[in-house]
Amino acid sequence: MTTDPFALFDTWYAEARQSEPNDSNAMALATVDAAGQPSVRMVLLKGHGPGGFVFYTNRESRKAGELAAVPKAALLFHWKSLRRQIRIEGAVSLVTDAESDAYFATRHRDSQLGAWASDQSRPLDARETFEARFEEMKVRFEGGDVPRPPHWGGYRVTPSVIEFWHDRAHRLHERRLFTRTGTGWSEGLLYP
């Protein structure tokens, strides 16, 4: 048993990377808008450690607008094959431009072009419109690197709470709750 939630996350995440057939780094991201309306969607974890959990997106998207209005979020990893989940809640901040640039450079070229072509979360009149914009970006950046769009970048969720849930027989599950206390963490159990 560890009292370090990040070490425990690393262990569970490594096991998930071995057992989950698709997207072991997929996590539900829950946000709320200024009026209190919640919203949830799947995003991909692209970095993690004691500083927090990082994902990338269009900063003009619905989720980005919600995070600008209320810079707090909840994350949920659910690894069905392991019968485990991890819940994370915390404050949200932007990652640096250097971090966003570095990650963007690792993306597949088509994903880079798609970031330029998409007005994420806005109405689209027809799929053909998006495909035409994608083709325009291919021509625009032909023969060179695709730079990161200024409206695209990363977010870091700095956890204040991390809960590890492990399925047990007869719904007698195990729930370990880590709560940030200043520079450290306190640990406790929750009833299933």
127: in domain: no
42: in domain: yes
pTM of the full structure: 0.94
139: in domain: no
CB half-sphere exposure, 71, CA atoms < 13 A: 8
Count the domains in the chain: 1
65: left (phi over 0), alpha (psi -120 to 50) or beta: alpha
Residue 48 has pLDDT above 90, yes or no: yes
* pLDDT tens digits for range 85-102: 999 999 999 999 999 999
Q: Determine the structural domain holding residue 158 and report its residue range.
A: 5-97+150-190
118: in domain: no
3 state DSSP class of 115: helix
Residue 162 has pLDDT above 60, yes or no: yes
Residue 163 has pLDDT above 60, yes or no: yes
166: in domain: yes
CATH at 186: 2.30.110.10
List helix spans (H) across 75-181.
97-106, 109-117, 127-140
Please list the active-site residues.
171
123: in domain: no
Query: How high is the pLDDT of residue 169?
Result: 85
3 state DSSP class of 52: strand
64: in domain: yes
Burial label for 36, CB within 10 Å (0-12, 13-18, 19+), is: exposed
69: in domain: yes
